[in-house]
């Protein structure tokens, strides 16, 4: 099968941060056969392969990408009912928030807390996308992938994906060979709302519907996050740090109001946005080109004509300031592409 391969494509036009250089080669694939053809072309030309979905959680270098960028535009949805669960198989190119809306509309519990997160379905297992007490790892049954080394399709189970906090097999060296083609989510028939987070706890007098929770999440996120369709942003730029209980106790001596949330491995997750705002006073601060968002300091925004280097330098300054004030090492949630 032949496929259209374009040269020297600006990647700034394909990312929500609106920065980045050109791709040496660029191919948009719309089905599994086109994906096979694109990978085969890259192999023949000895080009590295970079996969791009909605471009919402990446920072492309100003130098661009010297290999082949494959944008996954494969779409398709399939619903299946079993005795215990509703299964949704969504192709990687589907807009993630669209399927969240669809599940809420038909009254299926599970994805509503993840409303209004930009990006495509294919990114959700890679990043283990999560918000307001829900991670997609809790809902993913399996992931269909294309192995660029063996050039074969296969299914990976939830366990195969090695999910962690904003982490997965697909971010590890041994997982880089896989391209996500579709994701199967399983929603338990006896599920209900997840309202553990403070922002949601006091919003409902009675048990809400999935659509009501979705509406509440959209309202909350709209106050904290810019509209990615209008403002250059990658959403939350950094991961919330997870620290030892002993380290958290020491920090409480200096910052007694510092929130902390116990994790399953007896550590404490600390909201970095609180530190950036309350400790460092960085909410809404920055330069003419790049800064933190006025509604949530965890979000970096391209204020206009910023380069990848501008954003990297600003992010590195934030990392250094957090380290100096708290001794906490901060990691990027955004993935660098170069």
Residues involved in catalysis: 166, 236, 333
Residues 181 and 74: beta-carbon distance below 8 Å: yes
Q: How far is CA 226 from CA 74, 112, 238, 254, 301, in A?
A: 27, 19, 16, 32, 8
Residues 100 and 168: beta-carbon distance below 8 Å: no
Residues 184 and 142: beta-carbon distance below 8 Å: yes
**Please, what is the end-to-end C-alpha distance for the chain in angstroms?**
29
Query: Looking at the DSSP assignment, which residues form a beta bridge with residue 308?
Result: none
Distance from C-alpha of 227 to C-alpha of 18, rounded to nearest angstrom: 13
What is the CB neighbour count within 10 angstroms for residue 241? 20
What is the CB neighbour count within 10 angstroms for residue 313? 12
Residues 124 and 115: beta-carbon distance below 8 Å: no
């Amino acid at each position: 099968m032949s496929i259209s391969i374009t040269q020297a494509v600006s990647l700034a036009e394909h990312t929500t941060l609106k920065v980045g250089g050109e791709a040496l080669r660029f191919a948009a694939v719309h089905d599994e056969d086109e994906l096979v053809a694109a990978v085969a072309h890259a192999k023949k030309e000895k080009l590295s392969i970079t996969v791009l979905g909605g471009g919402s959680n990446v920072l492309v270098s100003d130098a661009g990408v010297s290999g082949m960028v494959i944008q996954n535009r494969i779409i398709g949805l399939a619903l299946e009912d079993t005795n215990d669960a509703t299964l949704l198989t969504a192709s990687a190119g589907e807009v993630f928030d669209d399927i969240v809306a669809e599940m809420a509309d038909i009254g299926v519990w599970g994805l509503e807390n993840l409303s209004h997160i930009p990006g495509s379905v294919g990114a959700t297992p890679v990043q283990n996308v999560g918000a307001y007490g829900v991670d997609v790892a809790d809902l993913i049954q399996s992931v269909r992938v294309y192995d660029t080394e063996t050039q074969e399709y296969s299914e990976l189970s939830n366990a195969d994906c090695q999910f962690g906090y904003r982490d997965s097999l697909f971010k590890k060296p041994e997982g880089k060979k896989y391209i996500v083609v579709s994701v199967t989510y399983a929603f338990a028939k006896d599920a209900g709302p997840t309202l553990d987070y403070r922002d949601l706890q006091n919003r409902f007098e009675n048990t809400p519907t999935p659509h009501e929770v979705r509406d509440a999440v959209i309202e909350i996120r709209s106050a904290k996050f810019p509209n990615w369709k209008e403002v250059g942003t990658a959403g939350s730029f950094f991961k919330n740090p997870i620290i030892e209980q002993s380290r958290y106790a020491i920090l409480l001596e200096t910052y007694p109001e510092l929130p902390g949330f116990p994790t399953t491995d007896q550590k404490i997750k600390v909201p970095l946005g609180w530190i950036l705002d309350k400790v460092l006073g960085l909410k809404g601060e920055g330069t003419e080109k790049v800064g933190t968002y006025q509604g949530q300091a965890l979000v970096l925004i391209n204020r206009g004509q910023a380069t990848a280097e501008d954003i990297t330098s600003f992010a590195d300054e934030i990392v250094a300031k957090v380290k100096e004030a708290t001794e906490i090492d901060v990691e990027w949630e955004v993935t660098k592409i170069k």
